[in-house]
A and B are shown apart, each in its own frame.
Chain A
Amino acid sequence: MPIDKIFKDDASEEKGERARMASFVGAMAISDLVKSTLGPKGMDKILQSTGRGHAVTVTNDGATILKSLHIDNPAAKVLVDISKVQDDEVGDGTTSVVVLAGELLREAEKLVASKIHPMTIIAGYRMASECARDALLKRVIDNKDNAEMFRSDLLKIAMTTLCSKILSQDKEHFAEMAVDAVFRLKGSTNLEAIQIIKKPGGTLRDSFLDEGFILDKKIGIGQPKRIENAKILVANTAMDTDKVKIYGARVRVDSMTKVAEIEGAEKEKMKDKVKKIIAHGINCFVNRQLIYNFPEELFADAGILAIEHADFEGIERLGLVTGGEIASTFDNPESVKLGHCKLIEEIMIGEDKLIHFSGCEMGQACSIVLRGASHHVLDEAERSLHDALCVLSQTVNDTRVLLGGGWPEMVMAKEVDELARKTAGKKSHAIEAFSRALVAIPTTIADNAGLDSAELVAQLRAEHHTEGCNAGIDVISGSVGDMEERGIYEAFKVKQAVLLSATEASEMILRVDEIITCAPRRREDRM
């Protein structure tokens, strides 16, 4: 008796081995795709969008690459998701997490082929990841109490993060910048307060960190270009035509003179408003909405600097930085809190004029101005810097750090190997496989740098046999060396997130034994 079709047309079902194979293949394809971008000598990818203009992005940031891919394979989507989460959570390690998950699945495939049940593999992986985490915890370095040491740790982390990015040429410069910016946040992880402004022109080395706040706007014509001891009123109010908002009101006149009269009244109203604003005793007025010529002129007459059309974030940030209150009515000048800063001036960066607020009351925010040859370079530089800032701000909260250059992987692999030897049952195969997957990361890093990975990893493994060894792969010199001496550090939080989410993702994919694809939703014919 043939079984009737159970599913709708076009729906497909893949079962057991085939389903597992489909997801393994998909996940490994994704991991192989980003594999070549791993490490300081990793290569970049060019992404060309299919949209209008065929915009081009050049990057080696795993999350960015994966985000832009259109993927059909469900398992691959899981990996893309994992990398996105890694990006949101810690900001860096987006490539590593995908590569590790891919390696775990590759090993799992071999185990499945030798008739080990996926659930047994999952159990083994779980034990192994626990053990690996403990191994890392045992070897963390924590310089929380020593501010100077901690700062140098942060610098090294920033340099390690940046060395795999486009900024590697000037990594000292940018590392300094990132660390300074993060220290200004004083422990908060709100990266919104760090504003990154990109201006093409100059070289990457010309980028700088500014203590104050930079607003990408122009100062009204005829108004002072420089104000000392500024009192700032931050506002969100209509400064074009202040309409009467009572519903149904409209102007109906029967003669020209009346039009003129009403126009006069309107002007009077605006003048009143401006007067009220001026009565606050301010010398700088920043509005979210447009300021028309007439009020602008009035402000200019009063010698007040008026800045129009600052966007919402700009306003909020400015409110935050200068300590002012965002105002919309102006009847009680005595109780509105004004913002203060030492100096407002117009500065030139490249071709553009910007407004610079310095000496603000709350020095939390700062701006980083990036300079570079082209938009692509700037975009990539921004992504790299963002990664570094994320990692640093997370590290400020969780001050534990590790050595880099494949050192953590080797430490974990060693512990996991030992666990495999002690564990009875089929799980030990899975645990062993986990350690192999871990070693794949330094192998890939070496491979990408064009080094003899087999030789280096073997050497590394031998070195790690001695207790308390600091050996890792130094890609720059192409040899195994002491990571502590070379100052290659990584944040513990990043490594931990990589380990845990990669294990989780591979577990999620391993657990699947059937893929049911629904019929794609019929789109309306676009003809």
Chain B
Amino acid sequence: MALAFDEFGRPFIILREQDQKTRLRGIDAQKANIAAGKAVARILRSSLGPKGMDKMLQGPDGDITITNDGATILEQMDVDNQIAKLMVELSRSQDYEIGDGTTGVVVMAGALLEQAERQLDRGIHPIRIAEGYEMASRVAVDHLERIAQKFEFDVNNFEPLVQTCMTTLSSKIVNRCKRSLAEIAVKAVLAVADLERRDVNLDLIKVEGKVGGKLEDTELIYGILIDKDMSHPQMPKQIEDAHIAILTCPFEPPKPKTKHKVDIDTVEKFETLRKQEQQYFDEMVQKCKDVGATLVICQWGFDDEANHLLMHRNLPAVRWVGGVELELIAIATGGRIVPRFQELTPEKLGKAGVVREKSFGTTKERMLYIEHCANSKAVTVFIRGGNKMMIEETKRSIHDALCVARNLIRNKSIVYGGGAAEIACSLAVDAAADKYPGVEQYAIRAFAEALDSVPMALAENSGLQPIETLSAVKSQQIKENIPFYGIDCNDVGTNDMREQNVFETLIGKQQQILLATQVVKMILKIDDVISNSEY
């Protein structure tokens, strides 16, 4: 611990209780931070690409997640180191912004850090390295813009979109039925997309999962799915052209909020109360019937008698529907949530084409489908799968695919995957480096080298010779001046990513480079780490 002394040789106290704190300064601090960042990147490196391996994560309660989604791995890893936490943040922000490429961004950042370490050993000042990286990232992003291709599709011809989603899904465990899942994702996005404004509200897509069945049974529902069944087992299971009354009051006798007492002291009073009660149930059901409702969805429970009356009057009902679902139903069907029976009017009813109850498997699990809703375009992706692990992983994969489809609708530009874009950028950055006088030149070259690490990791994970493959592809790109050559991960026999239909979105790739550079710059600028040694 460095100490400062005054002219009499007494030490100044700069940090409170400084013996109890560890402090790293200067080059040591940078090296320690880089090492931590690299360690995180190294964990993810083997998960990159279609042949990437999975990680098995055992949570604090012993539950198991098997995934190769970068964001999920980092989220569940429970890291303690500050710099490692930065990397977790990095992957998370890529997830929020783009939804895909969460592994790639961390691997990229790790490679940049590794190169930075080498430059530090040469004696280049961290700030100069950071500046060089900044310049290089600008070159790379511009170059991506140049090699990007517009990509034509419309509502009727969404095949290209499906292809792109398939690229995303091929690296997941669900790649067995990537085709059908990709189609589901694209159809879901197109169903809610606002093609005029080029915007997609992903909130309208609900992803639900239920254990059981096969992955192939996963389906897209144009409507809403709720995990409830009809309140009475003998109510009709299917209602066509439903008029839905959405209630937040129970089918039970009223409960005024103000405190009151009804005293029964004579037989007559007892009799009247009894009559009233019966009448009350009758009235409630009659009200719903009068406004023309053919289905009642209620947030609360029903009394047995009310339940039977509903069933008797042929008015199917669902009880104990949660608040969030109730709102969703109200939005989707264009109905209003009604808090009192007195306020029920025909206009307040929601409308849906079909409401049906479906039961699953040999057990008595039932769910309610509300389809062809009047108002909105809300859709639900309903995932089936062998076990909970599989469903969670499928959910994540579908989420990624949805994000990719959305990004494509927002911005039609694409670049080619399989490391092709990185190699092209690396070449461009390398060429640009020579134009910069000064120390930054070295940092820019280092950046180019770091870009190579993504295709390198891809080749490594696919069981190819990394250096050999990369140099072959690189020379091919230069020779033919076509930026579409990448790593042939699936052993198809061609390096041309156009033929293999491996795309990635332009914004996704740009964002990856920008975010990774930003984080690395931040890490490089830290030159003093003070931490409580207690922790």
Q: B-contacting residues of A (Cβ < 8 Å)?
A: 1, 3-9, 11, 13, 19, 23, 72, 74-75, 77-78, 81-82, 84-85, 88-89, 91, 117-120, 189-192, 236-238, 244-254, 258, 261-262, 264-266, 269, 316, 319, 325-329, 331-332, 335-336, 390, 393, 501, 504, 508, 511-521
Q: Are B303 and A3 in touch, CB under 8 angstroms? A: no
The 4 lowest CB-CB distance pairs between A and B, nearest first, are: A328-B308, A513-B53, A521-B60, A511-B54
Task: List chain A residues, Cβ under 8 A from B3.
Answer: none
- Which residue of B is nearest A266, CB measured? B270
B7 at the interface (CB under 8 A from A): no
A236 to B505, CA, bound (A): 59
Q: Are B233 and A326 in touch, CB under 8 angstroms? A: yes
Q: How far is the CB of A324 from chain B (nearest CB, A)?
A: 9
A73 to B64, CA, bound (A): 10
Q: Are A245 and B46 in touch, CB under 8 angstroms? A: no
Given contacts A82-B386, A246-B276, A515-B58, whether A7 and B79 have CB atoms under 8 Å apart is yes
Q: Are B267 and A261 in touch, CB under 8 angstroms? A: yes
Q: How far is the CB of A424 from chain B (nearest CB, A)?
A: 11
Given contacts A119-B462, A508-B173, whether A248 and B40 have CB atoms under 8 Å apart is no
Q: Are B54 and A244 in touch, CB under 8 angstroms? A: no
Task: List chain A residues, Cβ under 8 A from B309.
Answer: 328-329
A520 to B54, CA, bound (A): 22
Q: How far is the CB of A66 from chain B (nearest CB, A)?
A: 13
Q: Are A262 and B58 in touch, CB under 8 angstroms? A: no
Q: Are B234 and A191 in touch, CB under 8 angstroms? A: no
- Known: A7-B77, A319-B234, A517-B57; 17 extra A-B contacts, CB below 8 A, are A1-B28, A5-B80, A8-B79, A78-B66, A85-B387, A89-B212, A119-B462, A189-B361, A246-B280, A252-B264, A266-B270, A326-B233, A328-B305, A508-B66, A512-B56, A513-B46, A519-B60
**Digit string of B247-288 for contact with A (CB within 8 Å is 1, else 0)?**
000001111100011111111001101101110110000000
Given contacts A74-B58, A189-B362, whether A84 and B387 have CB atoms under 8 Å apart is yes
Q: Are B32 and A249 in touch, CB under 8 angstroms? A: no
Q: Are B212 and A246 in touch, CB under 8 angstroms? A: no
Instruction: Give me 22 A-to-B residue pairs in the complex whose CB atoms sit less than 8 angstroms apart, sorted by A's number.
Output: A3-B36, A74-B64, A82-B386, A117-B463, A118-B53, A119-B51, A119-B463, A191-B362, A244-B264, A246-B262, A246-B277, A247-B253, A254-B265, A261-B266, A265-B271, A329-B305, A332-B312, A513-B46, A516-B55, A518-B77, A519-B60, A519-B78
- Which residue of B is nearest A504, CB measured? B386
Task: List chain B residues, Cβ under 8 A from A74.
Answer: 56, 58, 64
**Digit string of B10-51 for contact with A (CB within 8 Å is 1, else 0)?**
000000000000000000100110011001100100100001
**Digit string of B221-238 for contact with A (CB within 8 Å is 1, else 0)?**
000000000001110000
Interface centre among B61, B303, B305 (most CB of A within 10 A): B305
Q: How far is the CB of B328 from chain A (nearest CB, A)?
A: 29
Task: List chain A residues, Cβ under 8 A from B43.
Answer: 13, 514, 516
Contact of A11 among B31, B78, B263, B304 (CB under 8 A): B78
Q: Are A3 and B39 in touch, CB under 8 angstroms? A: yes
Q: Are A244 and B60 in touch, CB under 8 angstroms? A: no
Q: How far is the CB of A423 from chain B (nearest CB, A)?
A: 13
A513 to B460, CA, bound (A): 14
B76 at the interface (CB under 8 A from A): yes
Given contacts A246-B273, A269-B274, whether A192 and B387 have CB atoms under 8 Å apart is no
- Which residue of B is nearest A13, CB measured? B43
Task: List chain A residues, Cβ under 8 A from B303.
Answer: 245
Q: A-contacting residues of B (Cβ < 8 Å)?
A: 28, 31-32, 35-36, 39-40, 43, 46, 51, 53-62, 64, 66, 68, 73, 76-81, 84, 173, 212, 232-234, 252-256, 260-267, 270-271, 273-274, 276-278, 280-281, 303-305, 307-309, 311-312, 361-364, 386-389, 461-463
A162 to B276, CA, bound (A): 60
Given contacts A74-B64, A237-B304, A518-B60, whether A4 and B266 have CB atoms under 8 Å apart is no
Q: Are A250 and B265 in touch, CB under 8 angstroms? A: no
Contact of B361 among A6, A88, A512 (CB under 8 A): A88
Q: How far is the CB of B291 from chain A (nearest CB, A)?
A: 22
Contact of A7 among B80, B233, B387 (CB under 8 A): B80
Task: List chain A residues, Cβ under 8 A from B84.
Answer: 6
Q: Are B56 and A75 in touch, CB under 8 angstroms? A: yes
Task: List chain A residues, Cβ under 8 A from B389.
Answer: 78, 81
Task: List chain A residues, Cβ under 8 A from B281.
Answer: 329
Q: Are A326 and B234 in touch, CB under 8 angstroms? A: yes
Task: List chain B residues, Cβ under 8 A from A1.
Answer: 28, 31-32, 35
Q: Are A248 and B304 in touch, CB under 8 angstroms? A: no
A269 to B31, CA, bound (A): 86
Q: Are B261 and A245 in touch, CB under 8 angstroms? A: no
- Which residue of B is nearest A11, CB measured? B78
Task: List chain A residues, Cβ under 8 A from B77.
Answer: 7, 516, 518
Q: How far is the CB of B124 from chain A (nearest CB, A)?
A: 18
A254 to B56, CA, bound (A): 73
Q: Are B79 and A77 in touch, CB under 8 angstroms? A: no
Q: Are A4 and B261 in touch, CB under 8 angstroms? A: no
- Which residue of B is nearest A514, CB measured? B55
Given contacts A244-B264, A251-B264, A252-B264, whether A88 and B58 have CB atoms under 8 Å apart is no
Q: Are B387 and A81 in touch, CB under 8 angstroms? A: yes
Task: List chain B residues, Cβ under 8 A from A72.
Answer: 62
Task: List chain A residues, Cβ under 8 A from B280.
Answer: 246
Contact of B81 among A4, A91, A119, A190 (CB under 8 A): A4
Task: List chain B residues, Cβ under 8 A from A521.
Answer: 60-61
Task: List chain B residues, Cβ under 8 A from A5.
Answer: 80-81
A332 to B265, CA, bound (A): 31
A249 to B40, CA, bound (A): 66
Given contacts A82-B386, A504-B386, whether A512 and B53 have CB atoms under 8 Å apart is yes
Q: Are B66 and A250 in touch, CB under 8 angstroms? A: no
Q: How far is the CB of B307 from chain A (nearest CB, A)?
A: 6
Task: List chain A residues, Cβ under 8 A from B212.
Answer: 88-89
Q: Are B262 and A518 in touch, CB under 8 angstroms? A: no
Q: Are A515 and B55 in touch, CB under 8 angstroms? A: yes
Q: Are A237 and B58 in touch, CB under 8 angstroms? A: no
Q: How far is the CB of B351 from chain A (nearest CB, A)?
A: 28
- Which residue of A is nearest B255, CB measured? A247
Contact of B79 among A6, A247, A251, A319 (CB under 8 A): A6
Task: List chain A residues, Cβ under 8 A from B252.
Answer: 245
Task: List chain B residues, Cβ under 8 A from A335.
Answer: 312
Q: How far is the CB of B420 from chain A (nearest CB, A)?
A: 21
- Which residue of A is nearest B85, CB measured? A6
Task: List chain A residues, Cβ under 8 A from B253.
Answer: 245-247
Q: Are A265 and B64 in touch, CB under 8 angstroms? A: no
A234 to B48, CA, bound (A): 61
Q: Are B273 and A244 in touch, CB under 8 angstroms? A: yes
A520 to B61, CA, bound (A): 6
Q: Are A319 and B386 in touch, CB under 8 angstroms? A: no
Given contacts A8-B80, A19-B56, whether A252 and B265 have CB atoms under 8 Å apart is yes
Task: List chain A residues, Cβ under 8 A from B312.
Answer: 325, 327, 329, 332, 335-336
Q: Are A6 and B39 in touch, CB under 8 angstroms? A: yes
A4 to B33, CA, bound (A): 9
Interface centre among A72, A252, A508 (most CB of B within 10 A): A508
A240 to B139, CA, bound (A): 83
Q: Are A23 and B56 in touch, CB under 8 angstroms? A: yes
A325 to B307, CA, bound (A): 12
A1 to B37, CA, bound (A): 13
- Which residue of A is nearest B273, CB measured? A244
A338 to B112, CA, bound (A): 78
A205 to B252, CA, bound (A): 52
Given contacts A4-B32, A4-B35, whether A518 and B59 have CB atoms under 8 Å apart is yes
A326 to B312, CA, bound (A): 10
Q: Are B62 and A265 in touch, CB under 8 angstroms? A: no
Q: How far is the CB of B340 from chain A (nearest CB, A)?
A: 16
Contact of B265 among A9, A253, A504 (CB under 8 A): A253
A326 to B262, CA, bound (A): 33
A381 to B289, CA, bound (A): 51
Given contacts A8-B80, A325-B234, whether A3 and B35 have CB atoms under 8 Å apart is yes
